[in-house]
C-alpha cells in the first residue's frame, strides 16, 4: 500500500434539493472545520452524476448545483483552503467506476440499505441506482482520500468502497497496491431527525432548510411533531424531536436549564410547553445562520463568482484524478 503522505479529506453532497439541518450538522459543519485543520487537503464535490438517479429535470439540477455551491460558500467554505467542484467536471470518475465494477460482486451491491430502501418504497431501480455505490467508491479513491466525513447513513457505502479497494488491489496489483483505503469520519451529530421524527432527508419531505427565517421558519418549526402532553405538565425529554433540535444549537450549559424546564414543565415559575421550546429553537436557528444568510443572498446575485470557484476547483481535482486513473490503468494492463 502507498499510504498518502498526508490525510486527504473528501466528501460529496447530492444536488437533489435545498440543503437542510441534517446535511449541515451531519456533514457540512465538519467539512468546514476540517478545511482549517487540513488546508489544501480537503475536497468537497457536488454529486451531480449521483443526482441523476433520482432527478430528471435539467434546469432543476443546474439550479440545485448552484444552490449547493452557494450554500457552502455562504457557510464559510474558503476556496483557498478547500477545493469545491462539480463531480461531472471530472469525467475520469466514470472511467474508474467501470474499472471498479469489474471487481465488485453483485451480492455486495444487493446488500446496500439505501438501494433496498428505495426498492421497498416502490422506486423502480435503474442500473445506475444499483451501481451507485461503485460511483461513490470511485469518487473517494480517485483522489486517494484517506478520510470521508459523512453522516451515519453513508457508513455502509464507505465500507463497500473499502471492499472495492481491497478487491481491486488484490486483483490487479497485489505487490504494489495503487488504491488507498478510506476511513469514514462521523460528525458529532451523525443522525439528525426530521420534523416527523424519521431521519431528516430531502426525499422524505421532512426537512428544515438552513436559511429559512421569519414567518416561514416559524411555520416549519410549528410543524415539528410533538406528543399530546398537556401544557404546563413535565415534557418527555428523550423522545422529544424539538429537544433533539435544541441539542444541535445550544451549549451543554444552556441545555441543563432547558432540560430542567422539560422535567418540571415550568420556567421561572410559569408553565413551559412545546410552543416555548419551539420558540427557543427559532431564536437560536435565526441567529446561528444570520451571517451566512446575508452572504447567501449576496451570492444569489453573483452566480459567476460561484461558477468560478467550481471551475477552479475542477482544475485542481482533475489533476489529482488523472494521476490516479493512469496508475489504475497501468495496473490493469490498459496502458
Ligand atoms: P438527503 O438524505 O437529504 O438526500 P444527502 O444524501 O445528500 O441528504 O446527504 C449529504 C450528506 O449529509 C451526507 O454526508 C449525509 O450523511 C448527511 N446527512 C443527510 N441527512 C442527514 C441526517 N438526517 N443526519 C445526519 N447527516 C445527514
Ligand atoms: N452518497 C452520498 C449521499 O447521498 C453523496 C456522495 C456521493 C458521497 N459520492 C460521495 C459522499 C463520496 C462521500 C464520498 O449523501
Catalytic residue among 81, 152, 199, 244: 199
Give nearest CA residue, ligand 1 atom 11. Answer: 23
Q: Give mean pLDDT, residues 138-146.
A: 98
Cα–Cα distance measured from residue 153 to residue 193, given in angstroms and rounded to the nearest whole number: 12
Q: What is the per-residue pLDDT for 4?
A: 47
pLDDT more than 90, % of the chain: 94
Ligand 2 neighbourhood includes 47 CB (under 6 angstroms):
yes
Residue that has been written with the C-alpha cell 467508491 in this structure: 137
Mutate to test the pocket of ligand 2, among 8, 12, 84, 201 (most ligand atoms within 8 A of CB): 12
Q: What is the per-residue pLDDT for 3?
A: 52
Cα–Cα distance measured from residue 273 to residue 261, given in angstroms and rounded to the nearest whole number: 9
Q: What is the per-residue pLDDT for 157?
A: 98
118 as an active site residue: the answer is: yes
C-alpha cell at 81: 483552503
Ligand 1 neighbourhood includes 203 CB (under 6 angstroms):
yes
CATH of 9-193+303-332, picked from 3.40.640.10, 3.30.420.40, 3.40.50.1100, 3.40.50.620, is 3.40.50.620
CATH code for the domain defined by 212-288:
1.10.240.10
Ligand 2 neighbourhood includes 23 CB (under 6 angstroms):
no
Of the candidates 123, 32, 39, the residue with the CA atom closest to the CA atom of residue 75: 32
Q: How far is the CA of 59 from the centre of ligand 1 (A)?
A: 23
Q: Give mean pLDDT, residues 270-295.
A: 98
Q: What is the per-residue pLDDT for 34?
A: 98
Give nearest CA residue, ligand 2 atom 15. Answer: 13
Ligand 1 neighbourhood includes 12 CB (under 6 angstroms):
no
Ligand 2 neighbourhood includes 202 CB (under 6 angstroms):
no
Q: How far is the CA of 22 from the centre of ligand 1 (A)?
A: 6
Phi-psi region of 17 (alpha: psi -120 to 50; beta: other; left: phi over 0): left
The larger pLDDT score, comparing residue 160 to residue 335, is at 160
Q: What is the per-residue pLDDT for 173?
A: 97
The larger pLDDT score, comparing residue 4 to residue 306, is at 306
Query: Identical fold at 9-193+303-332 and 212-288?
Result: no
216 as an active site residue: the answer is: no
Mean pLDDT of the chain: 96
- Annotated domain spans of the chain: 9-193+303-332, 212-288
Q: How far is the CA of 23 from the centre of ligand 1 (A)?
A: 5
Q: What is the per-residue pLDDT for 118?
A: 86
Nearest ligand 1 atom to alpha carbon 190 = 25
Report pLDDT digits (tens) over 180-216: 999 999 999 999 999 999 999 988 899 999 999 999 9
Ligand 2 neighbourhood includes 16 CB (under 6 angstroms):
no
219 as an active site residue: the answer is: no
Of the candidates 234, 249, 108, the residue with the CA atom closest to the CA atom of residue 192: 249
- Above 70 in pLDDT, residue 33? yes
Give nearest CA residue, ligand 1 atom 19. Answer: 23
Q: What is the per-residue pLDDT for 234?
A: 96
C-alpha cell at 120: 421497498
Nearest ligand 2 atom to alpha carbon 132 = 1
Cα–Cα distance measured from residue 28 to residue 70, given in angstroms and rounded to the nearest whole number: 13
Of the candidates 221, 219, 257, the residue with the CA atom closest to the CA atom of residue 241: 221
Cα–Cα distance measured from residue 276 to residue 261, given in angstroms and rounded to the nearest whole number: 10
Nearest ligand 1 atom to alpha carbon 152 = 16
Q: What is the per-residue pLDDT for 75?
A: 98
Task: For residue 185, give the H/E element and its range.
Answer: strand 183-186
Amino acid at each position: 500500500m502507498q499510504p498518502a503522505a498526508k490525510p486527504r479529506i473528501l466528501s460529496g453532497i447530492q444536488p437533489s434539493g435545498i440543503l437542510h439541518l441534517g446535511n449541515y450538522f451531519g456533514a457540512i459543519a465538519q467539512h468546514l472545520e476540517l478545511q482549517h485543520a487540513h488546508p489544501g487537503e480537503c475536497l468537497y464535490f457536488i454529486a451531480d452524476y449521483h443526482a441523476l438517479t433520482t432527478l430528471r429535470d435539467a434546469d432543476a439540477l443546474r439550479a440545485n448545483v448552484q444552490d449547493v455551491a452557494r450554500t457552502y460558500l455562504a457557510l464559510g467554505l474558503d476556496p483557498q483552503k478547500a477545493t469545491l467542484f462539480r463531480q461531472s467536471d471530472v469525467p475520469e470518475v466514470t472511467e474508474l467506476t467501470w474499472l471498479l465494477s469489474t471487481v465488485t460482486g453483485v451480492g455486495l451491491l444487493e446488500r446496500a440499505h439505501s438501494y433496498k430502501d428505495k426498492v421497498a418504497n416502490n422506486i423502480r431501480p435503474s442500473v445506475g441506482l444499483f451501481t451507485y455505490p461503485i460511483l461513490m467508491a470511485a469518487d473517494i479513491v480517485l483522489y486517494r482520500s484517506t478520510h470521508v466525513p459523512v453522516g451515519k447513513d453513508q457508513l455502509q457505502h464507505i465500507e463497500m468502497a473499502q471492499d472495492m479497494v481491497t478487491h481491486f488491489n488484490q486483483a490487479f496489483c497485489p505487490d504494489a497496491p495503487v488504491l488507498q483505503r478510506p476511513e469514514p469520519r462521523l460528525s458529532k451529530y451523525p443522525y439528525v431527525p426530521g420534523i416527523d421524527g424519521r431521519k431528516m432527508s430531502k426525499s422524505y419531505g421532512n426537512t428544515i432548510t438552513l436559511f429559512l427565517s421569519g414567518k416561514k421558519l416559524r411555520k416549519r418549526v410549528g410543524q415539528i411533531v410533538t406528543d399530546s402532553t398537556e401544557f404546563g405538565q413535565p415534557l418527555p425529554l428523550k423522545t422529544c424531536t424539538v429537544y433533539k433540535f435544541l441539542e444541535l444549537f445550544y451549549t451543554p450549559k444552556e441545555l441543563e436549564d432547558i432540560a430542567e424546564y422539560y422535567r418540571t414543565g415550568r420556567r421561572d415559575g410559569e408553565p413551559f410547553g412545546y410552543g416555548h421550546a419551539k420558540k427557543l429553537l427559532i431564536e437560536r436557528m435565526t441567529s446561528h445562520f444570520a451571517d451566512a444568510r446575508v452572504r447567501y443572498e449576496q451570492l444569489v446575485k453573483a452566480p459567476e463568482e460561484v461558477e468560478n470557484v467550481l471551475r477552479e476547483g475542477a482544475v485542481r481535482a482533475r489533476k489529482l484524478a488523472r494521476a490516479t486513473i493512469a496508475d489504475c490503468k497501468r495496473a490493469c494492463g490498459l496502458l
